[in-house]
């Protein structure tokens, strides 16, 4: 069997209604997976699932706020009950609040961390409880956490966001080592995109273009192009293909690793 095939696998993709998450949903369903899309954007999530079903691909939508522990418990329970298991969790949902460190508030900090860090922690916790031996599915699995190049290097206007992604990067490695040591059969890896053409990618440019930073869209675009050897933003499907590799059996010996997909940004 093709080791990239996702036949017989059940995947949950958080924030799967739009952007990178939606591209991941496309890749995994096209490879044969049953994909549960979870998101707070109900209209876009339902539309995405309907669109895939119309193409004879397997998908369903669940409304789910990743910052809620109760919703994580009920979402994982529903995915397992409705689909007979859970093999892949893509912790993709995330938010960016840009701005100068000195202007950002403690409320901004807590909001970003509640989604980007607590959401990933809760996802790994409840997925591991279900995937590990003796859990409600108990057949191991693969967890992919969306971090960012901002979790590895500094950029202006992204201090809280970047630090939340650094937390995801470290938590990924700790979970991977712990789960492997305990023989759970659960791999955990992080993916680190550079700027990607999605609504959040637009927010990155807006922050850089603000009066307190570079002062114009042209200057912001120039800086981004200078930072990226390939001179362009990534496309959502270019991130999704890496996630597909990590979700599939093609990456059976890969755990605790961080994968940049950034047009050369962090190689400079």
Ligand X SMILES: NC(=O)c1ccc[n+]([C@@H]2O[C@H](COP(=O)([O-])OP(=O)(O)OC[C@H]3O[C@@H](n4cnc5c(N)ncnc54)[C@H](O)[C@@H]3O)[C@@H](O)[C@H]2O)c1
- Residues marked as catalytic: 161
Rounded Cα distance between 35 and 126, Å, is 17
The span from the CA of 239 to the CA of 252, in Å, is 19
Is 255 a binding residue for ligand X by CB under 6 A? The answer is no
Specify the stretch interacting with ligand X by CB under 6 A; choose among 127-135, 191-199, 210-218, 220-228.
191-199
Residue 242 binds ligand X (CB under 6 A)? no
**CB-nearest residue to ligand X:** 19
Per CB under 6 A, the list member of 79, 127, 131, 146 interacting with ligand X is 146
Q: What's the N-to-C CA distance of the chain in angstroms?
A: 39
Helix (H, G, I), strand (E, B) or coil at 89: strand
Q: Does 196 engage in binding with ligand X (CB under 6 A)? A: yes
**Please, are residues 156 and 213 in contact by the beta-carbon 8 Å criterion?**
yes
In this structure, the dihedral spanned by the alpha carbons of residues 154, 156, 158 and 162, taken in order and rounded to 10 degrees, is: 0
- Minimum Å gap between C-beta 14 and ligand X is 5
Task: Decide: is 75 part of the binding site for ligand X (CB under 6 A).
Answer: no
Residue 88 or 200: the one with the smaller Cβ distance to ligand X is: 200
Which is closer to ligand X, CB of 112 or CB of 184?
112
Quote the DSSP letter at residue 68. Answer: -
User: Least separation, in Å, of the C-beta of 260 and ligand X?
Assistant: 10
For position 135 contacting ligand X by CB under 6 A, the verdict is: no
User: How far from chain centre, in Å, is Cα 99?
Assistant: 22
Residues 11-70 within binding reach of ligand X (CB under 6 A): 14-15, 17-21, 39-41, 64-67
Binding residue count for ligand X, defined by CB under 6 A: 29
Q: What letter would DSSP give residue 229? A: T
CB count within 10 Å of CB 146 equals 25
Q: String of b and e for 10-20 (b: at least 16 CB within 10 Å)?
A: bbbbbbbbbbb
Report which of 135, 127, 96, 98 is spatially closest to residue 113, judged by C-alpha positions.
96
* Cβ distance to ligand X smaller for residue 17 or 86: 17
Q: Does 93 bind ligand X (CB under 6 A)?
A: yes
- Six token digits for residue 51: 């669109």
Should residue 115 be labelled a site residue for ligand X when binding is judged by CB under 6 A? yes
Per CB under 6 A, which region of 10-18, 173-181, 217-225, 248-256 contacts ligand X?
10-18
CB of 267 to ligand X, least distance (A): 16
Structure tokens belonging to residue 79: 């995915």
Distance CA 104, CA 20 (A): 26
Sign of the dihedral defined by the CA atoms of residues 129, 18, 31, 241, in that order:
negative
The piece of 101-109, 131-139, 199-207, 219-227 that touches ligand X (CB under 6 A) is 199-207
Tell the smallest beta-carbon distance from residue 201 to ligand X (Å). 4
Tell me if 94 contacts ligand X by CB under 6 A: yes
Contact set with ligand X (CB under 6 A): 14-15, 17-21, 39-41, 64-67, 92-95, 115, 146, 148, 193, 195-196, 198-201, 204
């Amino acid at each position: 069997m093709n080791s990239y095939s996702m036949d017989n696998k059940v995947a949950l993709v958080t924030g799967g209604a739009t952007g990178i998450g939606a591209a991941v949903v496309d890749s995994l369903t096209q490879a044969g997976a049953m994909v549960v899309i979870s998101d707070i954007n109900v209209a876009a999530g339902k539309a995405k699932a309907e669109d895939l079903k119309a193409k004879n691909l397997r998908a369903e939508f669940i409304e789910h706020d990743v910052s809620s522990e109760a919703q994580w418990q009920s979402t994982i329970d529903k995915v397992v009950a409705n689909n007979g298991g859970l093999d892949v969790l893509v912790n993709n949902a995330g938010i960016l609040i840009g701005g100068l460190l000195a202007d950002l508030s403690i409320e901004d900090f807590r909001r970003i961390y509640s989604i980007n860090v607590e959401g990933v922690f809760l996802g790994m916790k409840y997925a591991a409880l279900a995937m590990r031996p003796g859990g409600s599915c108990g057949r191991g699995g693969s967890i992919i956490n969306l971090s960012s190049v901002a979790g590895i290097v500094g950029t202006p206007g992204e201090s809280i966001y970047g630090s939340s992604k650094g937390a995801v990067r470290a938590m990924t490695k700790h979970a991977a080592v712990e789960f492997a040591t305990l023989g759970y059969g659960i791999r955990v890896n992080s993916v680190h995109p550079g700027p990607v053409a999605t609504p959040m990618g637009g927010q990155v440019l807006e922050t850089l273009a603000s009066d307190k930073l570079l002062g114009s869209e042209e200057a912001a675009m120039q800086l981004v192009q200078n930072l990226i050897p390939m001179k362009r933003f990534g496309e959502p499907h270019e991130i999704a293909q890496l996630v597909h590799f990590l979700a599939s059996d093609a990456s059976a010996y890969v755990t605790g690793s961080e994968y940049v997909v950034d047009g050369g940004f962090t190689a400079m």
